[in-house]
Structure 1
């Protein structure tokens, strides 16, 4: 892959992920504009995450026959139009409809980007290129939030959507540098394989662990702007966006996960350590200090992305067939946890307060720790039939 092509891929990845998370730090402004409360404002993220929980499986059949470049051009064009249109919404329903449309287009764009990286990198450079891709998705998650808060403070809430729409339009020009002959080669999805995979103890445990992790991650981040505003009524959207700076720790966690895994003595111990860090940082958010919330974001994100970096490798090391379905189910559990986490904790927050919300989230991570403790036995049970065969 030529340097210009890699730059085009990474820039587009950042822009696409920015479009997903931009509304999160400016929920208060959007809620005031549309005249809605805390629970309804959570839908700004929920409706975009919802298609991501099912789209990766649904796209499997379609993408076998579509060129990666063509899929990218169409999905990024649609995403640019939908994102720009958000800036012109004056009522809630069209806004949520456009967010849902974004949720349908984002997985197509990200799948095309990831596929292009995998099929156009030299075999010895695939892991390095994929590491850059993962880092770009994490950076996009931070930059989308920070930039939205900054532009909203400097201008108004419409500015971030206009800026991201313009950036996605510019990415269309960059994507013209990609070679047009890449086809997305995915293993054909067999629905009958799903119950077979879910009956495997190790697989189900890993799926439930990542479900719990992303439930907690999205649940805390989606309601964090309201919490920060309760601690400091004069806080600006720019400072709320800056609170997500700890998100960048995810890049370091993802890039060093394999080395740390070896130091900690394997995937099980490493996953336990990541979950313990994630849970400890989550508990710190219960403290009533703004500085603690800002600082806790760093270990909170590091723990989450460390587990997220380890889990797919563990699944694929245990799977000798149906990897398309194995990975598709992982993404489905991941985003289903995120979808539910972006909304359900708000019910607890609205009725019982922030401390109760944090307690529920810590309980979810406690469940994930119990699942991880049993992962060693489940892994052995999974490996036994393979060795007998």
Structure 2
């Protein structure tokens, strides 16, 4: 499977995850339910993403990654069609939860396939392209779902997405027998034991902190723009979200950053430092500065993600599927907690304490990467 084909698969899979987000207000009206209940359409899908990937990682250690990816895409297409046919909000929630159980299988299969197929600088480049495709899928999934709903109806996008999933999955060619180079273990503990590697655990914790901060700021960005900057026009708020895409484009330079210094942990710690600066500088109440800082914030997050994912594969002695399953679990655990915990601080203590809480978490992430630089020369180069 080529990296381009894998990227196309990633984009349409992320359509599934983020398509309901811009339509939540419409769904609240359609099903006569509260905004909080409608928000569950995202929560019930995110929750399995924080738990299931490590389980799929164990399963993929002795199973074809491409076969699981193909099956997962077919099942996601079926769920998309069933969503257009259901008439009750409870059934919609159930189908979203089922999608949440299927999505980790697809994500873990893709990252495991990359980690097992490519090595060295090629691994870094292809993992960066994969991360870029997830960002593009998240952006286009939101944008296209909203526009399809405006032009025709919300069901039309789900049918369109289902067709894409089926067409792209049918193009996945399965090898006669996928090479499994790791000997079979006696129990899951044998596969999970290498994850105790201190440098790997610290990297996972840094990734948790990274996505915690990112998820928190993006979830409460409309409230911040409305309450702090009196920006209430949805179109203008949408332009601010353009910083997300600009930051994603800047993140494509991640593989070239490793050429600036021969120690990968130094690069990662430095980017975390800029991530911290962008958060702390948001205390300056100026809309123009906030937009620039938000773009820098997004770029730092994507660069860290694009650097940490291949680095985890390089330093881990665990099977590729276990390494990437654990990575996805830590990543989305941070996102799940960051999506609601900082909200309580924002509601009760305001923007200053909200940003301070994110800054503290971000500093903790930087500390984990700095600790990897300080401890053990064998881990410092990330290989």
Query: How far 1:115 moved relative to its partner?
Result: 5.8
State the alpha-carbon separation in 1 of the partners of residues 195 and 202 from structure 2.
9
Which residue pairs with 2:130 in the alignment? 133
Which residue pairs with 2:210 in the alignment? 213
- Contact 1:80/1:166, CA 8 A, preserved across alignment: no
Which residue pairs with 2:305 in the alignment? 308
Judging changes above 3 Å, is the alpha-carbon distance between structure 1 residues 318 and 92 closer, same or farther for their aligned structure 2 residues? same
- Contact 1:23/1:45, CA 8 A, preserved across alignment: yes
Which residue pairs with 1:47 in the alignment? 44
Query: How far 1:324 moved relative to its partner?
Result: 4.0
Mapping of residues 221-260 of structure 1, within 5 Å? 221-230=218-227, 231-232=229-230, 234-236=232-234, 238-249=235-246, 251-260=248-257
With 56-65 and 357-366 compared, the bigger mean Cα shift is at 56-65
Which residue pairs with 2:71 in the alignment? 74
State the alpha-carbon separation in 2 of the partners of residues 124 and 349 from structure 1.
42
Which residue pairs with 2:34 in the alignment? 36
State the alpha-carbon separation in 2 of the partners of residues 281 and 6 from structure 1.
33
Judging changes above 3 Å, is the alpha-carbon distance between structure 1 residues 306 and 81 closer, same or farther for their aligned structure 2 residues? same
Query: How far 1:304 moved relative to its partner?
Result: 0.9
What root-mean-square deviation, in Å, do the aligned CA atoms of Structure 1 and Structure 2 show?
3.6
Q: Do residues 352 (structure 1) and 349 (structure 2) align? A: yes
Q: Do residues 163 (structure 1) and 141 (structure 2) align? A: no
With 370-379 and 181-190 compared, the bigger mean Cα shift is at 181-190
Mapping of residues 270-285 of structure 1, within 5 Å? 270-285=267-282
State the alpha-carbon separation in 1 of the partners of residues 97 and 307 from structure 2.
30
State the alpha-carbon separation in 2 of the partners of residues 107 and 257 from structure 1.
25
Judging changes above 3 Å, is the alpha-carbon distance between structure 1 residues 120 and 374 closer, same or farther for their aligned structure 2 residues? closer
State the alpha-carbon separation in 2 of the partners of residues 121 and 259 from structure 1.
18
Which residue pairs with 1:327 in the alignment? 324
Judging changes above 3 Å, is the alpha-carbon distance between structure 1 residues 382 and 259 closer, same or farther for their aligned structure 2 residues? closer
State the alpha-carbon separation in 2 of the partners of residues 212 and 293 from structure 1.
21
Aligned pairs, number? 375
Residues 9-61 of structure 1: per-residue CA shift (max 9 Å, x gap): 433321111221233445555556654355x5654433222212222221234
TM-score, length of structure 2 as denominator length: 0.81
Unaligned runs of 5+ in 2: none
- Contact 1:23/1:145, CA 8 A, preserved across alignment: yes
State the alpha-carbon separation in 2 of the partners of residues 363 and 122 from structure 1.
35
State the alpha-carbon separation in 2 of the partners of residues 71 and 349 from structure 1.
41
Judging changes above 3 Å, is the alpha-carbon distance between structure 1 residues 93 and 282 closer, same or farther for their aligned structure 2 residues? farther
Query: How far 1:365 moved relative to its partner?
Result: 0.5
Which residue pairs with 1:10 in the alignment? 7
Query: How far 1:299 moved relative to its partner?
Result: 1.0
Q: Do residues 173 (structure 1) and 167 (structure 2) align? A: yes
1:262 alignment partner, SS class = coil
Q: Do residues 202 (structure 1) and 199 (structure 2) align? A: yes
State the alpha-carbon separation in 2 of the partners of residues 83 and 103 from structure 1.
12
Q: Do residues 338 (structure 1) and 338 (structure 2) align? A: no
- Contact 2:273/2:366, CA 8 A, preserved across alignment: yes
State the alpha-carbon separation in 1 of the partners of residues 62 and 361 from structure 2.
40
Which residue pairs with 1:387 in the alignment? none
- Contact 1:15/1:164, CA 8 A, preserved across alignment: no
With 312-321 and 47-56 compared, the bigger mean Cα shift is at 312-321
State the alpha-carbon separation in 1 of the partners of residues 255 and 345 from structure 2.
37
Query: How far 1:141 moved relative to its partner?
Result: 1.9
Query: How far 1:202 moved relative to its partner?
Result: 2.0
2:131 alignment partner, SS class = helix
Judging changes above 3 Å, is the alpha-carbon distance between structure 1 residues 72 and 329 closer, same or farther for their aligned structure 2 residues? closer
State the alpha-carbon separation in 2 of the partners of residues 49 and 372 from structure 1.
26
Query: How far 1:217 moved relative to its partner?
Result: 1.0
TM-score, length of structure 1 as denominator length: 0.80
Judging changes above 3 Å, is the alpha-carbon distance between structure 1 residues 117 and 373 closer, same or farther for their aligned structure 2 residues? closer
Judging changes above 3 Å, is the alpha-carbon distance between structure 1 residues 316 and 297 closer, same or farther for their aligned structure 2 residues? same
Residues 66-92 of structure 1: per-residue CA shift (max 9 Å, x gap): 555543343223212323444566655
- Contact 2:145/2:157, CA 8 A, preserved across alignment: no
